[in-house]
Structure 1
Amino acid sequence: MTTLLLARHGLTHLTGPVLAGWTPDLHLSEAGRAQAEALAVRLGPLELDAIVSSPLDRCLETAGAVAAGRETEVVTDERFGECRYGDWTGRPIAELAKDPLWRVVQSHPSAVTFPGGESLAAVQHRAVAAVREWNERLGPRGVYLVCSHGDVIKAIVADAMGLHLDQFQRITADPASLTAIRYTPLRPFVLRLNDLGGEVTGLRPPEEPQEGAEEKGGGQNLTESDAAVGGGAGTT
């Protein structure tokens, strides 16, 4: 029952109007630093078994704010790095929206390979492989944070929800937002999506099985992988 917390980096001066990609020396703006500090405060009550970051500065700075005052240090994993947009890197979004490839990115992203860059399918493959590896490393009670980028987070969420990559544009990951996915032996559960507020203590799984978790109901032995039919009572 490993719990993955996905945080998108805070704002930079390019976020929004420009496709930043792997633009070097791109740091958080003043607003982005404030977002990172607010995220750190939100996550303060939650013990984290690992803090993992994309190697890009804007993610390292966001993850660093969360790590401040903790014994857990930030480690980098390039597989959580931004999509390599190739020739699109550093170009204004308004300009890219006129490119014929833009419509393919919007409607059929699984078919897209950016000129001089990588495919969105490859981005999803490397990111999901990294999640699987970290889940195995940290074990079934692990709770860890990954600070990454919008398209990478959306690709991981699409996989967790069993969606084809062509549907990942229906998912949103705002700057400094938090998405939580709990991985069980049978299926992942998306606990939070693009969350910008609220307490987080309930995101750590219980040390002991919940009352009734091993009771039989309807001829079926209920486990941590079972969905709550009817919605359940939540974590509070």
Structure 2
Amino acid sequence: MTTLLLVRHGRTALTGPVLAGWTPGLGLDDRGRAQARDLAERLAGTPLAAVVSSPLDRCLQTAEAVAARTGTEKIEVDERFGEVRYGDWTGRPLKELAEEPLWRVVQEHPSAVVFPGERGEALADAQRRAVAAVRDWNARIAAEHGPDALYLVCSHGDIIKAVVADALGLHLDQFQRIQADPASLTAVRYTETRPFLVRLNDTGGETASLLPKPPGDAPGREGDAAVGGGA
């Protein structure tokens, strides 16, 4: 039952008004650094088998704060957790993009979207690479640290939403119903049969309940009926 902690990077100067994408050299702003510190403090003492990050600066800086507070010696970088490649949309204001015909497709039929330009990526391809990375890391972490290990991936809003949609068995066209705020924590527990979404877009809750349960403490004991019904 490997548990994946998905963290979105803290805020940057472009978060909100601009589609940052793979804009180089974009780090956290003052608020983003504070968010990263607060998240790291919440995770202090959490035994992370690995901290994995998108290669983009804003994720690396967030991951570094977590690694320092949790005593994780090394940050692993996996480009598959990098932001969607928005092509010619990169760096453009969202207000301006909302006037583009493709914007409505992004909102209503994202599985059909390929972002414009030579380096534009299909959202479906971005989901596939991120989910493949999760599967690879689940297998690696379980093999090296046992099936109850936790590990953390610091990534981006659309990537996190796409991974969560896969975990919930949702079509990519439903992923816009999911929210991932800056420095939020989302937890997915993967089992042999199916994933369980344990926490979503958490920006202030405790983290002790994310740790492996003691032996003999069966899943679902706290009112989580596994096959419908239950008191």
**TM over 0.5, yes or no?**
yes
Q: Which amino acid in 1 is paired with 2:191? A: T
The answer to whether the 8 A contact 1:17-1:93 is kept is yes
Structure with the greater alpha carbon radius of gyration: 1
Match of residue 47 from structure 1: 47
Match of residue 219 from structure 1: none
Query: Secondary structure, in 3 states, of the residue corresponding to 2:181?
Result: coil
Q: CA deviation at 1:45?
A: 2.5
Q: What TM-score, normalized to structure 1?
A: 0.90
Q: CA deviation at 1:120?
A: 0.3
Q: Superposed, which structure 2 residues align to 1:144-155 within 5 Å?
A: 144-155=151-162
2:163 equivalent to 1:163: no
Q: CA deviation at 1:198?
A: 1.4
Identity of aligned residues (%): 68
CA distance in 2, matches of 1:23, 1:120: 18
Match of residue 218 from structure 1: none
Alignment length, in residue pairs?
220
Distance 1:2 1:95, change over 3 A: same
Distance 1:71 1:146, change over 3 A: closer
Query: Secondary structure, in 3 states, of the residue corresponding to 2:196?
Result: strand
Match of residue 56 from structure 2: 56
The answer to whether the 8 A contact 1:182-1:189 is kept is yes
The answer to whether the 8 A contact 1:45-1:200 is kept is no
Match of residue 96 from structure 2: 95
Bigger Cα displacement from structure 2, 137-146 vs 120-129: 137-146
- RMSD value, Cα: 1.6
Unmatched tracts of structure 2, length 5 or more:
none
Q: What TM-score, normalized to structure 2?
A: 0.91
CA distance in 1, matches of 2:179, 2:172: 14
Deviations 1:114-153 (A, max 9, x none): 0121000000000000000000001121200000000000
Q: Superposed, which structure 2 residues align to 1:123-134 within 5 Å?
A: 123-134=126-137
Unmatched tracts of structure 1, length 5 or more:
214-221
Deviations 1:28-83 (A, max 9, x none): 00000000000000011211000000000000000000011414321100000000
The answer to whether the 8 A contact 1:18-1:92 is kept is yes
